[in-house]
Amino acid sequence: MPTSLLTLNDGTKAPWIAFGTGTALYSKDAQQSVIIAIQNGFTHLDGAQQYQNEDSLGAGIAASGKPRSELYITTKLGNLQPGDTPKSAIEESLRKLGIDYVDLYLIHHALPNVGRLKDLWIGMEEAKNAGLTKSIGVSNFTADHLNEILEVATISPAVNQLEVHPYVWKALQPTLSLHEKYNIVTSSYGGLSPLVRGRGGPLDPLVERIRVRLEHARGSTVSEGQVLHKYFQQKGILVVTTSAKVERVQEYLDTENVPELTPDEIKDIETAGAKLHKRFFPRNWPPE
């Protein structure tokens, strides 16, 4: 079953779910994990210069035998070395990945670059205009960071990849409002954190109740993770997720086949999430 696509504000389309090569694969050889992901149906692969494994991501892409045209590849700009630009940095990424262009190129972090975000964004536009990436965007940007680059942007960011889950949904509202205004796709990393890192919160019983209903409606197994992933899919959020386990990779992609949550269930998830504010990746955010 083909993966559903999200239309970005530049007219390109991105698969709504991506296999990430950070977190568990950070600084590790990603080749085998990438091959498994592609063999099981992932077409969107999310990498970054900071993950220090673009070469093995590229090796996995090559070894999979999947045509480049059938894949959607994301990478992210890390900390620039003196004399480097976003354009020279992506040229190095493309060399490591063994490809001619990426589909999406993001500024990975706002915080270390405060004061030079405008210059970086101008450099990102230069990389896009040179044909090195189809789309450009950002990651870990608050509304203030977005407003700063929008002052100079001739191309709006297509995506902002953030820690997104129900326990930060309320706090993200100023940023999400800007996303809506400029048609910026919200991308989520750490989306299952409430279930895997934050057990015991107000979301737990609700997710289980919805899971049981969906499983009954489907007539086959539905996992708690699929409940949250379905929530993201219905909200038009681009999910970045990862696993070393084949069955988990298959489960993530199988979210497409899970029945939809009702409007009330979506509202209940946001209401329960608002009862607890918790970030699981606080280093990416200004102090609260």
Q: What is the 3-state secondary structure (H, E, C) of the chain?
A: CCCCEEECCCCCEEECEEEECCHHHCCCCCHHHHHHHHHCCCCEEECCHHHCCHHHHHHHHHHHCCCHHHCEEEEEECCCCCCCCHHHHHHHHHHHHCCCCEEEEEECCCHHHCCCHHHHHHHHHHHHHCCCEEEEEEECCCHHHHHHHHCCCCCCCCEEEEECCHHHHCCCHHHHHHHHHHCCEEEEECCCHHHHCCCCCCHHHHHHHHHHHHHHHHCCCCCHHHHHHHHHHHCCCEEEECCCCHHHHHHHHHHHHCCCCCHHHHHHHHHHHCCCCCCCCHHHCCCC
Residues counted in the chain: 288
Q: Is 108 annotated as a binding residue?
A: yes
Instruction: Please answer whether residues 89 and 80 qualify as being in contact, where contact means their C-beta atoms are separated by less than 8 angstroms.
Output: yes
Catalytic residue check, 51? yes
Instruction: Please answer whether residues 261 and 210 qualify as being in contact, where contact means their C-beta atoms are separated by less than 8 angstroms.
Output: yes
Instruction: Please answer whether residues 214 and 233 qualify as being in contact, where contact means their C-beta atoms are separated by less than 8 angstroms.
Output: no
Catalytic residue among 26, 51, 72, 189: 51
Catalytic residue numbers, as ranges: 51
Q: Which residues are annotated as a binding site?
A: 108
Q: Which residues are annotated as a binding site for substrate?
A: 108
